[in-house]
Amino acid sequence: MKTHSLFTLGLLAAACGAACAQSGTGSSVTIYGLLDASVEHLSNASANGGSLTRMPGLTGSAPSRLGFRGVEDLGGGLKAGFTLESGFGVDSGTYNQGGRAFGRQAFVGLSGDWGSLNLGRQYSMLFWSQLDADILGPSAFGSGSLDSYLPNARVDNAIAYRGTFSGFTAGATYSLGRDAVNAGPSPSGTNCAGESATDKSACRQWSLLAKYDTAAWGVALAVDEIRGGAGAFAGLTSSTLKDRRSTVAGWAKFDALKLGAGLIARDNDAAPATRRSNLWYLGAAYSATPVLVLDGQVFKLDYKNSANQATLLALRATYHLSKRTAVYATAGHIANDGALAISVSNAAAGGAPAAGGSQSGVAVGVRHAF
């Protein structure tokens, strides 16, 4: 990961202050952000079984970010808008997402009653399909531990449409070059720029979403496919190779209790020996009091026709000191089988157990939103 400073963001924030003051009735710019820092301890964090205590930079209960969002009313129900959102590590103040200044989101577009159409770096529809059902989301001990693409389901050079009509949401993305950054090998930059005159299929990406939500429950279907290219990481070194994820997910609320469940089926040409896999999850969140939330989730990753599988269990308690500030404690345990050596934590690189080994982790942290 590149180690740029956050000086550029400070200049943008200062500039935005003047812009916000000058905004007219039909336009506005909002600065927002979230800072989340934790300390975690992992057992069996190496092939020799040693433990590891660290302050990770990728995530705690949620990834840290600084964002700028603007909207202008063009009249007749049409609006122009943009989002610039940077991800960074509170531990060191450096950029995440492969060193991108605005690695979480960077797009501009138009919106109206018909939905929104945006151009730039933005979320795949796989992200929106999991948003309500995956209870723990991008937490340190969560789905990102078993599939690193899930918290990194963003694409460069993307054309995206999404619209909601009477509870039904439809969406699609198409990328001309899904990941131009070389951060690797790393899921935050896979060296697949695309946009090639000699190979028009290189590094393309597409995704589709169909989602229906009521006040008490919802269900989502989505497909996400990425293509390879020369020099790309994760084995996708040719445009003839693809990695496809298909998912069904759902959620339901019962007073103070929320349940979520999902299945992500993967078909990955880059791993012919373990090409097909299923990732199942089931989670629950319970608001014990107005300020205390208890949640947890179990995940099962199973590779077809292989001994490779992993089971992860994670629990978390979050205490809200105010509407913007919370403290939390979380614990997780993973059991690997076969040749898998997956860490319980996706909060930072490294710290994996020996192949076929298990690992436990605990973390405590504080989160502030503005």
How do residues 49-94 score in pLDDT, each as one tens digit?
899 999 999 999 999 999 999 999 999 999 999 999 999 999 999 9
Q: Coil, helix or strand for 150?
A: helix
Cα dist. 73→25, 114, 126, 335 in Å?
A: 9, 15, 29, 53
16-20, 310-314, 324-328, 329-333: segment of lowest average pLDDT: 16-20
Quickly state the pLDDT bin for 3 (edges 50, 70, 90).
very low
* pLDDT tens-digit series, residues 108-138: 999 999 999 999 999 999 999 999 999 999 9
- The chain-wide mean pLDDT, for the chain, equals 94
How far is Cα 222 from Cα 164, in angstroms, rounded to an integer? 15
Q: Is the pLDDT of residue 1 over 70?
A: no
Average pLDDT over every residue of 310-322:
98
Distance CA 271, CA 303 (A): 11
Give pLDDT, residue 186. Answer: 87
What pLDDT was estimated at residue 350? Answer: 92
Burial of 82 (0-12, 13-18, 19+ CB in 10 A): middle
The pLDDT tens digits of the residues spanning 279-299 come to 999 999 999 999 999 999 999
Residue 7 pLDDT exceeds 50? no
The strand pairing partners of 249, in sequence order, are 220, 262
Confidence of residue 26 (pLDDT cuts 50, 70, 90): confident
pLDDT category at 16 given cuts 50, 70, 90 is low
Q: Which tokens is 118 given? A: 């945006």
d(CA 35, CA 89): 9
Neighbours of 301 (CB within 10 A): 25
Cis amide prior to 185 (ω within 30 degrees): yes
Q: Give the pLDDT confidence score for residue 342 in this predicted structure.
A: 98
d(CA 36, CA 90): 7
> Rg for the chain (alpha carbons), in Å?
20
Asked if 42 and 357 count as a contact pair (C-beta separation under 8 A), the reply is no
- State yes or no: pLDDT of 182 exceeds 50: yes
Query: Which tens digit of pLDDT belongs to each residue from 254-274?
Result: 999 999 999 999 999 999 999
Q: What's the whole-number mean pLDDT along residues 194-220?
A: 97
Distances in whole angstroms, Cα of residue 316 to Cα of each of 47, 57, 293, 334, 367: 27, 19, 8, 15, 14
Q: pTM of the prediction?
A: 0.91
